Amino acid sequence: MLNAKVPEGKIEEKWRNYQAQSRLVNPANKKKLKVIVVGSGLAGAGAAATLAELGYDISCFCYQDSARRAHSVAAQGGVNAAKNYQHDGDSVWRMFYDTLKGGDFRSREANVYRLAELSAPLIDHFTQQGVPFAREYGGVLVNRSFGGVQVERTFYARGQTGQQLLLAAYSQLNKMIRARKVEMFTRHEMLDLVVIDGKAKGIIARDLQSGKIRRFAADAVVLATGGYSRVFRLSTLAIGCNGSALWKAHKRGAFFASPSFTQIHPTALPQSSEAQSKLTLMSESLRNDGRIWVPKTKGDTRKANDIPEEERDYYLERRYPSFGNLAPRDIASRAAKERIDAGYGIGRLKNAVYLDFKHAIERFGMETVNDRYGNLFTMYKKITGIDAYTEPMQISPAAHFSMGGLWVDYELMTTIPGLYAVGECNFSDHGANRLGANSLLQASVDGYFILPNTINNYLAQALKEEHETTEHPEFSKVEQEVKEHIDHILAVNGCKTVDHFHRELGKVMWQECAMSRNKSGLQKAIGQIKKIREDFWTEVNVTGHSNELNTELEKALRLADFIELGILMCTDALDREESCGAHFREEYQTEDGEAVRVDDKYAFVSAWEYSNGDFKLHKEPLDFEFIQPSVRSYK
């Protein structure tokens, strides 16, 4: 039975009650306890630095050449916090409500409230770390709005907020590396988890430079490995982002929650060719001032600027008058897909819609628009060669954020004692759809504020137990399995590339398990992915060896896990016979195409257990004690 360990008391008191009752570790004893942190993004670097400041002995791992590359760096728009600086009616309660509603009532109330509660101190923290947030002339902090809310609570540093927050976390991490409290392993990729007597006790990692397989023992393991939307291949994620650490943990016993809840971001650059490797995101903040439209006539071949005002369909403003262009992401993406599928798409491949700044420039002037979005316009021009000041941007939906992830309790611990998951790689706060600018928030709050308060509760016990070393037979066993897995891939010696299979997987996932899903499509997809898996293991060709830097091998190992994860995602989407947030089942919609949630049957978190290649469903019921779920409307 899943126990979320939500503390007693009123929602405002739960976190305080938890902290008051949680066990602590004496400062002198902390250095005897070793914690592994996998990932160096906002959640990972924040956790590693803070745990090191508390005195724990930390090892931190990342696959990139430097901790500063983690994909938190790419978040553009901002970070939300209930500071109510704008005096526009914001509060912790309102932020809690917006986030819960934004997630279509498929997240745990207590976690969401804590996220909102800890948002304000996070802004204080980052300001003190030197993040150059945008300021008014008078020197106070500025805010802007983001999708799905009606207050201005988003803090930002130009269009590079993620970069600035990540660099602050990276700086703090470096401070602790210099203090020799953190040992940093760059170019190391976790390939498996070591579980001894039911508890997480270490990892097996591959040194990507030498190819050497190495063992690392610890008293607790923290996964901060980010999202897995590269399962679609084309996504807004970095090319190296992967789901392997999660998948290995899942296979070792960690439950995987709501794996199919994937956010499709409405404003990415459209795909232009088969060879494309990446869909670049254009910040949601652009929707603050940009207006989205398509021509009213199907297949209109005129240039955007030649289409008069009355022949443009501002479909978000039409369908959702109260939120307009700031409708939440799932709704904006689906609305774009509806127009594109109906034949109104624009661009060479008719797969895009316009995002137009003409009115904003007329209203605020070129200078203001440049000040707000200048770097995004520059980026757009670098990639497309088009000047968005004079003609509208072309944008299209793209796979983005994983709301799903390892199931965690209130302490952010997975179903394997001693294994924690923080940031995007867990499932907890965003339900079935994440609000813009809540991602940086959740990653940071998990890493800086929550985990360093909850991990003591476990480590206090671990202190009394024997510290396992890498000499334990379980380490040899898992290391052997990892080596055999690598040898197996290298031995296939087929005739197709890793990328070939990734493209095949991506097509199936995008077709059947993205913005809109149905029973027969998902059933078909599971069969297709199983076939891809079979073909992969008989036809893939990975050149080079295991004992050298081998980028092709890295890709192959990640893809092997993505293929299996794809099956679980489709299984999850098939099981949930309702539409909620980003999970839109075509069978469950109103006449005008809005999602129909089925609360009496599906008000639970799906947590999947791996058992011999199959998946067993466990349910964590969602009891809404403080807010009654309502029909989510943005009309």
Partner 1 sequence: MKVTFQIWRQDGPTDKGRLKDYEVDGLTEDMSFLEALDHLNELLVLKNEKVIAYEYDCREGICGQCGIFINGRAHGPHANMTTCQLHMRSFNDGDTIVVEPWRAQAFPVVKDLIVDRSALDRIIEQGGYISAKTGTAPEANSIPIGKDVADKAMDAAACIGCGACVATCKNASAALFTSAKINHLNSLPQGKPEQHRRVLEMTKQMAYEGFGHCTFTGACEVECPEGISIVNIAELNARILKARLLG
Q: Which one, 278 or 576, has the nearer CB to partner 1?
A: 278
Q: Which one, 254 or 451, has the nearer CB to partner 1?
A: 451
Q: Which has the closest alpha carbon to 574: 588, 589, 593, 563? A: 588
List beta partners, residue 188: 207
CB 312 within 8 A of CB 329: no
Cα(398)–Cα(536) distance, rounded to whole angstroms? 25
Q: Which one, 385 or 473, has the nearer CB to partner 1?
A: 385
Give the residue numbers annotated as catalytic, written as ranges: 329
Cα(63)–Cα(554) distance, rounded to whole angstroms? 10
Q: How far is the CB of 85 from partner 1 (least distance, A)?
A: 7
At position 106, the amino acid (one-letter code) is R
Q: How far is the CB of 549 from partner 1 (least distance, A)?
A: 5
Cα(601)–Cα(604) distance, rounded to whole angstroms? 8
Q: Which one, 17 or 277, has the nearer CB to partner 1?
A: 277
CB 328 within 8 A of CB 148: yes
Half-sphere exposure of 207 (CA within 13 A, CB side): 12
At position 478, the amino acid (one-letter code) is V
Q: How far is the CB of 116 from partner 1 (least distance, A)?
A: 17
CA angle 400, 402, 405 (to 5 degrees): 165
Cα(256)–Cα(526) distance, rounded to whole angstroms? 18
List beta partners, residue 101: none
Render the burial of 113-128: b for 16+ CB within 10 Å, e for the rest. Answer: bbbbbbbbebbebbee
Q: Which one, 110 or 176, has the nearer CB to partner 1?
A: 176
State the alpha helices, DSSP H only, in 325-413: 329-339, 358-364, 366-384
CB 513 within 8 A of CB 525: yes
Neighbours of 518 (CB within 10 A): 16
Q: Which one, 14 or 71, has the nearer CB to partner 1?
A: 71
Q: Which has the closest alpha carbon to 542: 528, 531, 524, 557? A: 557
Q: How far is the CB of 473 from partner 1 (least distance, A)?
A: 34
Q: How far is the CB of 280 from partner 1 (least distance, A)?
A: 5
**Among all chains, which residue has been given the structure tokens 């307009």?**
324
CB 140 within 8 A of CB 466: no
Q: How far is the CB of 257 from partner 1 (least distance, A)?
A: 27
CB 608 within 8 A of CB 568: yes
Residue 195: which residues within 8 A CB-CB, separation 6 or more? 201, 252, 253, 416, 419, 474
Residue 200: which residues within 8 A CB-CB, separation 6 or more? 193, 194, 220, 221, 416, 417, 418, 419
Q: How far is the CB of 379 from partner 1 (least distance, A)?
A: 6
At position 483, the amino acid (one-letter code) is K
Q: Which one, 44 or 431, has the nearer CB to partner 1?
A: 44
Q: How far is the CB of 458 from partner 1 (least distance, A)?
A: 19
Q: What is the 8-class DSSP label of residue 416?
A: S
Q: How far is the CB of 51 from partner 1 (least distance, A)?
A: 10
Q: Which one, 500 or 618, has the nearer CB to partner 1?
A: 500
**Torsion of Cα atoms, 580 then 245 then 555 then 212, to 10°:** 180
Q: Which one, 127 or 351, has the nearer CB to partner 1?
A: 127
